[in-house]
Structure 1
Amino acid sequence: MSQAGRQDFTDKVSAAVKPDSQKGIFEKAKDTIVGTADNAAGKAQPEEDKTAAQKVGDTVFGK
């Protein structure tokens, strides 16, 4: 991670592939909070400052 607030790409993928039916209430809440913070950080971070993984993650996860 090169910027505070950005979620690690492997954490994003892990959260996305695990069905909500297998997540507890705290895990769902954490995914929402962390995902929202990552989305805001991704929009605020200039493209030229992003790592390759962040660019891929932003593209895949629609940031």
Structure 2
Amino acid sequence: MSDLGRKDISDKVQSAVTPDSQKSTLGSAKDKVTDSVDNAIGDNTSSKDKSFVQQASDAIFGEKK
């Protein structure tokens, strides 16, 4: 399984349910960077190399641009 470098699903959920108005500038910037890294790693990892949790996370959250 290749989840190394991927954003934890609990972090994704917390980021998704927290309104942007309640995030600090640093928090918003961190989300953008970690989401970009997560998407890049996810896009370059085949589904067979992803754990079930990461496959589900990718299906639920998809790629954010």
| Distance across 1 between alignment mates of 2:9 and 2:23 | 19
5+ unaligned residues in a row in structure 2: which ranges? none
Higher relative contact order structure (alpha carbons within 8 Å, sequence separation ≥ 6): 2
Root-mean-square deviation over aligned CA pairs: 1.4
TM-score scaled by structure 2? 0.88
The superposition leaves residues 38-61 of structure 1 with CA deviations (integer Å, 9 ceiling, x where unpaired) of 000001111001111101110111
Q: Structure 1 runs of 4+ off > 4 angstroms?
A: none
> What is the rounded CA distance, in whole Å, between the counterparts of 1:4 and 1:53 in structure 2?
13
Q: How many residues in Structure 1 have an aligned counterpart in Structure 2?
A: 63
Q: Name the counterpart of 2:52.
A: 52
The secondary structure found in structure 2 opposite 1:5 is: coil
Aligned residues of 2:6 and 2:37 also touching (Cα < 8 A): yes
Which residue of structure 2 lines up, in the alignment, with residue 16 of structure 1? 16
Task: Tell me the CA shift for residue 5 of structure 1.
Answer: 2.0
TM-score, normalised via structure 1 length: 0.91
Q: Following TM superposition, by how much is the alpha carbon of 1:2 offset from its aligned partner in structure 2, in angstroms?
A: 3.8
Of 17-26 and 1-10, deviating more is 1-10
